[in-house]
Amino acid sequence: MKAPSDTEEGTMSRVQVTGYLPDYRLADFVPAPKAGFDVLVLFSAEATPQGALDLARLPVWALERGRQLKAQQGCLLLLSVGGWDRSAGFPALAADPSARQRFGQGLVAFCQEQGFDGVDLDWEHPKDQGEAQNFGLLLGEISQVFTPAGLQLSSALAPWQDLPDAVYQHLDRLHLMAYDNPGRHSTYESAVADVQRLLDRGVPAAKIWLGVPFYGRKPEAFDEALTYAQLHAQFKPGPEVDEAGGYYFNGPQTLQRKTRFAHEKGLGGIMVWELGQDAPGEASLLRALGQALSVP
């Protein structure tokens, strides 16, 4: 894993920023040079029940664009596998030892051939303890072949999930989806509680990336959501504002507060869902994160 970097002056330390970028945002995403993310997670491929990788949503041009962004930003590049409506292959795959082995070997081959630095699994979600146990076995199989290849293994996990210790043990990075909670879906207080729950489970702080949203939801109408770019264009909220037009979101000051918390707790960093939702220019949340990341 790339170590947390110093600022240009070399006098300050900072936590890392990991940003997801979905396939449907890729063509229009043009970040500033050195935009401020250390890890880019390209979302997403799917796993088949037989242990193959379905790249239908990430054709050749998309993978090439990912490599271009990696080179331009000087960041790590991970492949996301799965997602909310892209996890149907995981249950059968994780239950089959041969498929697990095939999947792990295929991921190594993909990363080495395509210039990726690792894989992020996003199984949403194992439905029972049997599937959760199999998830641990799947991660163990992948970790066994990733470690000698120098590849990173991460997973996007919801804070409410009850998973076996093996899941956490095999991960290099845990991307904690500390958003989409009931009500005001991503408050500072809920983020602190979500992190503490993992720490109480014995998960090392340095493995945890605290997830923050670049979008807002209506507390009483969960399916109604807007990107931060849309929210800023429509309502022009100030940096201290987290609610506008009935939507709850994380404004710059709340994001900076969460970032300081991540630093104080020794977390691995901040995870963003997702980079393509950001507002442009001075209103950018990624810019606000950058302002908070350099700490004495």
What was the pLDDT predicted at 2? 38
Q: What is the largest CA-CA distance in the chain?
A: 54
Task: Give me the number of domains the chain comprises.
Answer: 1
**Three-class secondary structure of residue 31 per DSSP:** coil
Q: Is 241 a domain residue?
A: no
pLDDT digits (tens, 9 = 90+) for 256-277: 999 999 999 999 999 999 999 9
User: What is the CB neighbour count within 10 angstroms for residue 59?
Assistant: 10
- Would the pLDDT of 5 be above 80? no
- Residues 19 and 237: their CA atoms lie apart, in Å, by 23
What is the DSSP-derived secondary structure letter of residue 48? -
Q: Is 134 a domain residue?
A: yes
pLDDT digits (tens, 9 = 90+) for 231-243: 999 999 999 999 9
Q: Is 2 a domain residue?
A: no
Q: Is 98 a domain residue?
A: yes
Residue 4 banded pLDDT, cuts 50, 70, 90: very low
Give the pLDDT mean for 150-165: 97
User: What is the CB neighbour count within 10 angstroms for residue 48?
Assistant: 16
pTM (2 d.p.): 0.94
- Would the pLDDT of 19 be above 60? yes
- Would the pLDDT of 1 be above 50? no
- Would the pLDDT of 64 be above 80? yes
- Would the pLDDT of 98 be above 80? yes
pLDDT digits (tens, 9 = 90+) for 65-92: 999 999 999 999 999 999 999 999 999 9
**Three-class secondary structure of residue 273 per DSSP:** strand
- Residues 183 and 189: their CA atoms lie apart, in Å, by 13
Tell me the H-state helices in 15-149: 60-73, 90-95, 97-114, 129-149
Give the pLDDT mean for 102-117: 99
What is the DSSP-derived secondary structure letter of residue 88? T
Domain with residue 178: its CATH number is 3.20.20.80
Could you tell me the sign of the dihedral formed by the alpha carbons of 5, 8, 12, 15, in that order?
A: negative
Q: Where are the beta strands (DSSP E) in the chain?
A: 16-22, 39-47, 53-54, 76-83, 118-123, 152-157, 173-176, 208-213, 215-218, 221-227, 243-244, 247-248, 269-273
Q: Is 256 a domain residue?
A: yes
Q: Is 149 a domain residue?
A: yes
- Residues 63 and 59: their CA atoms lie apart, in Å, by 7
Q: Is 283 a domain residue?
A: yes
- Residues 287 and 275: their CA atoms lie apart, in Å, by 11
pLDDT digits (tens, 9 = 90+) for 135-145: 999 999 999 99
pLDDT cut 90: percent of the chain above it: 91
What was the pLDDT predicted at 295? 52
Q: Which residues pair with 78 in a beta bridge?
A: 41, 118
- Residues 99 and 91: their CA atoms lie apart, in Å, by 11
- Would the pLDDT of 249 be above 90? yes
Tell me whether strands 16-22 and 118-123 are parallel, antiparallel or unpaired. unpaired
Q: Is 10 a domain residue?
A: no
What was the pLDDT predicted at 294? 63
What was the pLDDT predicted at 13? 56
User: What is the CB neighbour count within 10 angstroms for residue 294?
Assistant: 16
- The per-residue pLDDT of the chain, averaged, comes to 94
- Would the pLDDT of 122 be above 90? yes
| Owning domain of residue 45 | 16-215+249-293
Nearest partner of 110 among 154, 138, 74, 77, judged by Cα: 77
